[in-house]
Amino acid sequence: MGRHENFPEGREFCIGLRDTDLVLDVQGASTEPGTPIILWTVKHEDNDNQKWYYENKQLRNKQTGLILTVPTLSANVAADQQHSGSNTQKFEHYDYTISAVDNEDLVLGILGSPTENARLALVHRDNDSELQQWSII
């Protein structure tokens, strides 16, 4: 679909690191604003903290209702309360990357190795990095 491919709307989904069994996970299924988003092995039951909805360019966690948020460049990604009109909570998905709506050169990436508990951040795009490629599951 090229440049305009995006997240599915109207249904839940998981966001997985491409070609792995690791997905975005609200750490500890916590409902506290500011809870880190980490990588975790996909669970096939009791996994609502790994499921997301896409609404108004925002990713809302199914279990917590919190929004995927990146406060600043290279800061850890967290689940937070919805901030009306906040650009730190608006994303799009295309060509296997999740980018900030305001700046497609800033993408969701992994800090460190792609293992369980790995932290995520908004980083500068590196088209060859497997640590910045995501699949919708």
Q: Return the domain boundaries, the chain.
A: 2-136
In this prediction, residue 111 carries a pLDDT of 86
- Distance, in Å, from the CA atom of 18 to the CA atom of 22, rounded to the nearest integer, reads 8
The confidence band for 82, taking pLDDT boundaries of 50, 70 and 90, is confident
**Residue 91 backbone phi and psi in degrees, to 5:** -140, 160
Q: What is the gyration radius of the CA atoms in the chain, in angstroms?
A: 13
Angle at CA of residue 65, ends 4 and 52, nearest 5°: 35
- Mean pLDDT (the chain, rounded): 89
Q: Which CATH architecture has domain 2-136?
A: Trefoil (2.80)
> pTM score, two decimals?
0.90
